[in-house]
Chains A and B, each alone.
Chain A
Amino acid sequence: MSTTTKPVKTTARPARSLAILALVLIALTGLVFVQSATAVRLGLDLRGGTSVTLQPRIAPGENGKVTNEAIDQAVSIIRQRVNSLGVAESEVTAQGSGTNRQIVISVPGDTGRRVVELVGQTAELRFRQVLATATSTGAADPAATPATGVSAEVNAKFAALDCTKAENLQGSGADAPTDTIVSCDRAGLNKYILAPAEVLGRQVSKASAAIDTQGGNAWYVSLTFNGEGTSAFGALTSRVTSLTAPLNQVAIVLDGLVVSAPRITEAIPSGNAQITGSFTQLEAQDLANVLKYGALPLAFDRGEVQQVSPTLGADQLNAGLLAGGLGLGLVLLYSLLYYRGLGLVTVGSLAVAGSLVYLLFLLLGKWIGFTLTLAGIAGAIVAIGVTADSFIIYFERIRDEIREGRSLRTAVETGWSRARRTILVADFVSIIAAVLLYFFAVGGVRGFAFTLGLTTLIDLIVVFVFTKPIVTILSKVNFFASGHPLSGLSAKSTGTLPVAGEA
């Protein structure tokens, strides 16, 4: 073990770093008020709300790719739809990387179901001519009259289709526009064979919900096509008017399910159409919004839906704060009992670390939309222990140096040069863990990883610019330097031998 110790200059340095730290704290506090970021943004699990995670999927039969562009486009479309709900602080973000990206939608408050339904619709709107129709009785129905001009395969599918089964009413948006398809209506009452699509959702330029005051106050959605859509819809309607039923019906298909299939009695060259289908007001408005903002470029699986009531949110917040308070109290108590006077340094360091974390939570909420979740609180609480561990490593190191027979002043410096390395390596391992967790995970896990990483960084800062300088200053105070029994550095508590002859 090397016993040569470089004389370490300590003059003015500790005071300077403490001054810098104080300035940083004041500056951050100032920023908090300037930016009026005076409340930590709480996650939905702490204040109630709905979050939906969507997993992009390639629709069967399509060769599309889940590209970043498609995800970004989907995010902006979903954002518009969610904003149409008019709930403040709603958020739609893409998380993860590459083909592994998910879209996470969070809406505070109790709009639960509407959010889930609204964001999940791919909104693939198509107009298709009806080739055959039958009421769906439940059992497979071989008596259904085979439609002419349709392949036997499609006819067989049509006969086998059971619209009373829930899985056939999910709606998937998986219908390729160029295929002849079989489909159910949304109520599960009728089934259809439908010709390839002639007008597509993207040819709709405007959509709005309206109420038909004459026809029994029914809500419907009114559509306006763009130029391309107007001519396609005009051609379709003029072609089918002269045909016999059911060939004169045009089905309005949304996400693979028939919304309505009106009989066309005259050609519609004006570029306007209505979708009726016994909608409630909300349904009509949501459908209009969905159509207006366009179809999602991808199909999505609903990965996870979480609805937290404000009551549970408040309970979880209180529990998190209580656990934090309790944990902090125990750590402080233990370090005071064990390290006596040095324990006060722990108290001070944790207070500084705590203020830094709190101020950064406030500011990051403003700057990058950081929200504190329950998992995040847990991460911060776990960090109390990790942070306190750094102090212990340093204190024990100082005591080791004293056991080697060094004076407190020297021990503080040589102990630091050794403890510093250990702390750096150990904290770096924690940071690796936090970074990997952040990139490999979604949702709550990311919140945890973020706070863990942030608090570990703050731990490093505090140890370097607060704990060490404070200990340096204290080592010159007689109470510690003389090894007072309550200082935590007495010969008795370090177990130093009365006559230390080590060179």
Chain B
Amino acid sequence: MSKISGLGGRLYRGETSIEIIGRRRRWYAVSAVFVLLSIAALSLQGLHLGIEFKGGSSFTVTKAGASVEDARTALTSAGIPGESIIQTIGNDKIRVQTGALDTAQNNAVQDALAAKFSVPVESIDTQIVGPSWGKEITRKALYGLFGFLICVMLYLAMAFEPKMAVAAIAAVIHDVFITVGIYALVGFDVTPATVIGFLTILGYSLYDTVVVFDKIRENTRTITASSKSTYSQATNLAVNQTLVRSMNTSLIALLPVGSILFVGAGLLGAGTLKDLSLALFIGLAVGTYSSIFIAPPVLAQLREKEPAMQALAKRVNGRTAPAGTATPVPSVAGDRRGPRNQPKRKHRK
């Protein structure tokens, strides 16, 4: 543990520097591959939507030793047309999912299952979703998503600066694509609980980004007054300085989510807890990545286009070039900054 803490100190002073801004092409390439994979998975396989989005009925019987065959027989005897998905959940539950049924058919299925497994009708957990309901939920989820992005963008633009808002939103959109892509690729069920988890994650990913940006803003507030470092270098230092913090906050956030996933998937088998925490888990991982490797480089790139920042880069280059380090500007690490008494200059590994 204290090793990590020590690393925190070295990162803070810039003795150890992880090159993030300078190698942005590498991170962009990694993300581009993932985003392309996601788009491919999405267009080839599509999302596996739960009955909440399609309309349909789900019946869960709790009975040790209940078999899929028995459930199928019961379903046939109730005269239910079309495709039904029957699966066992945990070791004492069986779940039957059908297409959209009317009230009489739903009652018939309940009765048939109750008779087949000799359990009372009331003990069958039932969820019936009307066909038009799914559209409603989808519409609302999309409204929620866009509303959220717009509000947060406006807020960040006010609290920080417009370019930071743009970079933060770019990172969020990146998270959305990759998380959705993973869902399409693996074929996890998408339910309203997934969507909630997902929206929460957007919030959380931004939380992480906000922490990093706050430090960037602090480091670059008076940057043009001196010629010590370029915007990119200052940004890189800020990311390094907040690296330990980001890892800690992400890990701490991941622990409870991991517990929900463990209990939800392990003990309950399926349902709200599992769907929610799975989305959180995946999103959290992607969100942490993007708040370090995507949002700051995008921001640096946007800001470096400004004439003031280009002039600054020229001044800094002018100062450093005669010193003999031939490293090109954007990839100069932040390792020249820091306390004047730093013991020795360590170069990037």
Q: Which residues on A are within 8 Å of B, measured CB to CB?
A: 1, 45, 53, 55, 110, 112-113, 116-117, 120, 166-167, 169-170, 301-309, 311-312, 315-316, 319-320, 322-324, 326-328, 330-331, 334-335, 337-338, 374-375, 378, 381-382, 384-386, 388-389, 392-393, 396, 399-400, 403, 418, 421-422, 425-426, 428-430, 432-434, 436-437, 440-445, 448-449, 452, 492-497, 499-502
- Further contacts, 8 of them, CB under 8 A, given A319-B267, A323-B256, A422-B214: A113-B121, A169-B104, A330-B258, A382-B256, A385-B255, A432-B155, A440-B147, A497-B339
A117 CB contacts on chain B under 8 angstroms: 103
A303 to B276 CA separation, bound complex (whole angstroms): 22
Contact code string B309-328 (vs A, CB < 8 Å = 1, else 0): 00000000000000000000
Rounded to whole angstroms, the CA-CA distance of A485 and B288 in the bound complex is 30
Is B257 part of the binding interface, using a Cβ–Cβ cutoff of 8 Å? yes
- 11 pairs across A/B with beta carbons < 8 Å? A117-B103, A167-B102, A307-B126, A375-B196, A393-B211, A403-B9, A429-B156, A432-B148, A437-B144, A442-B137, A495-B9
- Complex Cα–Cα for A389 and B123 (A): 42
Q: Are A316 and B140 in contact (CB-based, < 8 A)?
A: no
A306, B160: Cα distance in complex, Å: 45
Chain B residues with CB under 8 Å of A393's CB are 211, 245, 249
Contact of B132 among A303, A448, A502 (CB under 8 A): A303
Provide the main secondary structure of the chain B interface. helix
Q: Are B260 and A327 in contact (CB under 8 A)?
A: yes
A327-B260, A440-B143, A492-B6 in contact; A386/B204 too (CB < 8 A)?
A: yes
Contact A1 to B218, CB < 8 A, known contacts A323-B263, A382-B200, A499-B341: yes
CB distance from A168 to the nearest CB of B (A): 11
CB pair A301–B132 under 8 Å, yes or no, is: yes
Complex interface: chain B residues within 8 A of A338 (CB): 1, 4-5, 248
Q: Per a CB cutoff under 8 Å, which of A116, A403, A421 touches B12?
A: A403
Closest residue of chain A to B212 (Cβ to Cβ) is: A422
Complex: A116 Cα to B103 Cα, angstroms: 9
Asked whether B253 is an interface residue with its Cβ less than 8 Å from the other chain, the reply is: yes
Contact across chains for B245 and A326 when beta carbons are under 8 A apart: no
B266 nearest CB across to chain A (Å) = 9
**Docked CA distance A338–B132 (Å):** 51
Which of A169, A327, A418: most chain B CB closer than 10 A? Answer: A327
Residues on the A chain within 8 Å of B152, using CB: 429, 432-433
Instruction: Tell me if A444 and B123 are in contact (CB < 8 A).
Output: no
* Contact partners of B159 in chain A: CB under 8 A: 425, 428
B286 interface contact, C-beta 8 A: no
State which of B60, B253, B277 has its C-beta within 8 Å of the C-beta of A386.
Answer: B253
Nearest residue, chain B, Cβ from A110: B122
* A312 surroundings in chain B (CB, below 8 A): 60, 62, 125
In chain B between 246 and 280, which residues have their CB closer than 8 angstroms to a CB of chain A? 248-249, 251-260, 262-264, 267-268, 271-273, 276-277, 280
* Contact flag A304-B207 (CB < 8 Å), given A335-B252, A421-B214: no
Secondary structure class of chain A's binding surface, majority of residues: helix
Contact flag A319-B263 (CB < 8 Å), given A444-B192, A493-B5: yes
- B62 near A311 with CB under 8 A, answer yes
Which residues of B are in contact with A by a Cβ distance under 8 Å?
Answer: 1-2, 4-10, 12-13, 52, 60, 62, 102-107, 121-130, 132-133, 136-137, 140-141, 143-144, 147-148, 151-152, 155-156, 159-160, 192-193, 195-196, 199-200, 202-204, 206-207, 210-211, 214, 218-219, 241-242, 244-245, 248-249, 251-260, 262-264, 267-268, 271-273, 276-277, 280, 339-341, 343
Given contact pairs A436-B148, A444-B193, A330 touches B259 in the complex (Cβ within 8 A): yes
Q: Determine whether the beta carbon of A399 is less than 8 Å from that of B8.
A: yes
State in angstroms the CA–CA spacing of A392 and B263 once bound together.
26
Q: Are A330 and B255 in contact (CB under 8 A)?
A: yes
- The answer to whether A378 touches B123, judged by C-beta atoms less than 8 angstroms apart, is no
- Partner of B199 from A169, A323, A433 at Cβ < 8 Å: A433
Q: Which residues of B contact A327 (CB under 8 A)?
A: 255-260
Given A170-B102, A382-B200, A385-B257, A319 contacting B268 (CB threshold 8 A):
yes
Q: How far is the CB of A282 from chain B (nearest CB, A)?
A: 14
Bound Cα distance A384, B107 (Å): 42
CA A357 – CA B251 in complex, angstroms? 23
Q: Which of B52, B245, B276 contacts A396 (CB 8 A)?
A: B245
Contacts of A384 in B (CB 8 A): 256
Residues of B within 8 Å of A400, CB to CB, are 12, 241
For A424, the closest partner residue in chain B by CB is B159
Residues of chain A with a CB closer than 8 A to B9's CB: 403, 494-497
Residues in B whose Cβ lies below 8 Å from that of A382: 200, 253, 256-257, 260, 280
Judge whether B127 and A305 touch: CB under 8 Å: yes
**B residues less than 8 Å from A495 (CB atoms):** 5-10, 12
Q: Hey, which chain B residues are within 8 Å of A167, CB to CB?
A: 102
Determine if A378 and B260 form an interchain contact, defined as CB atoms under 8 angstroms apart: yes
Within the complex, the shortest CB–CB distance from A167 to chain B, in Å, comes to 7
- CB within 8 A of B245: which of A55, A113, A392? A392
Which residue from chain B places its CB closest to the CB of A320 in the assembled complex?
Answer: B273
| B103 and A392 contact, CB distance less than 8 A | no
A residues less than 8 Å from B122 (CB atoms): 110, 112, 309
Knowing A375-B276, A436-B151, A437-B196 are in contact, say whether A305-B126 is a contact too (CB < 8 A). yes
Residues of B within 8 A of A430 (CB): 203-204, 207
Residues of A within 8 A of B126 (CB): 112, 305-307
With a CB–CB cut-off of 8 A, which chain A residues contact B268?
315-316, 319
A429 — nearest CB in chain B belongs to which residue? B206
What are the 3 tightest A-B residue pairs by CB atom distance, in nearest-first order? A495-B9, A327-B256, A433-B203
Whether the pair B264, A319 counts as a contact (CB closer than 8 A) is yes
- Do the beta carbons of B5 and A309 come within 8 Å of each other? no
Which of A170, A428, A432, A493 is within 8 Å of B2, CB to CB? A493
Report how far A378 CA is from B38 CA in the complex, Å.
28
Residues on A with beta carbons closer than 8 Å to the beta carbon of B193: 375, 444
